[in-house]
């Protein structure tokens, strides 16, 4: 009888130890794994979408193409000046963006931007290029952004030439929902 009670007590102690260990691990990891704001701030990609369209916030995005250039020219064939360090190339991502009902459009447009991402986790922000044949912004005073109609928008990036084989697509974020979408070609 003594051995049976000792074995039962040892089993209960081991069970309690396992429960306490599992609870402490859960509580410690919960703040990192269960916090969408922290995951967003850490740069986590929530959704990977091939080409699109994908609705992010109140706008639909579709990636049509990503093309690499060594220089850009306008419709007259004149070079468009873009700050480009030695060894860098210009990547133009052509998107179709649709402003859906409920999106606040102020002064003919809204803020929209994407970041370029490679498979190593590097990202590049857009670069300004005036006179580009396709509008490069969703808030162009000369070309008011229509609602519920897809509009071509070009996002221009300057990236190192060695990063080109690793490019995956563009990243669009929805800060209200702490979501980040990767739209691949």
Asked whether 66 and 92 are in contact (CB, 8 A), the reply is: yes
pLDDT tens, per residue, the chain with 185 residues: 577 888 889 999 999 999 989 888 887 776 666 677 777 777 788 889 998 789 988 889 999 999 999 989 888 888 888 888 999 999 999 999 998 888 777 765 677 889 999 999 899 999 988 888 888 888 767 777 788 899 999 999 999 999 999 999 999 988 878 888 999 98
> Tokens in use for 175?
């800060």
Domain ranges of the chain: 2-34, 45-184
pTM exceeds 0.85 for this model: no
Backbone angles phi, psi at 84, to 5 degrees: -140, 115
Backbone angles phi, psi at 115, to 5 degrees: -120, 145
What digits encode the pLDDT tens for the residues 42-68? Answer: 778 888 999 878 998 888 999 999 999
CATH 1.10.10.10 assigned to 45-184: no
């Amino acid at each position: 009888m003594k051995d049976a009670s000792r074995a039962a007590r040892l089993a209960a102690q081991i069970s309690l130890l396992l429960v306490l260990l599992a609870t402490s691990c859960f509580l410690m990891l919960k703040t990192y794994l269960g916090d969408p704001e922290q995951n967003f701030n850490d740069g986590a990609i929530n959704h990977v979408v091939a080409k699109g369209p994908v609705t992010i916030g109140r706008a639909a995005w579709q990636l049509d193409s990503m093309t690499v250039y060594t220089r850009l020219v306008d419709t007259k064939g004149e070079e468009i000046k873009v700050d480009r360090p030695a060894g860098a190339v210009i990547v133009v991502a052509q998107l179709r963006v649709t402003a859906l009902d409920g999106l606040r459009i102020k002064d003919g447009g809204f803020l929209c931007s994407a970041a370029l991402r490679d498979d190593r986790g590097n990202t590049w922000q857009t670069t300004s290029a005036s006179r580009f044949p396709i509008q490069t912004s969703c808030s162009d005073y000369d070309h008011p952004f229509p609602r519920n109609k897809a509009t071509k928008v070009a996002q221009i990036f300057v990236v190192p030439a060695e990063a080109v084989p690793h490019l995956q697509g563009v990243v669009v974020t929805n800060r209200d929902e702490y979501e980040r979408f990767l739209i691949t070609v």
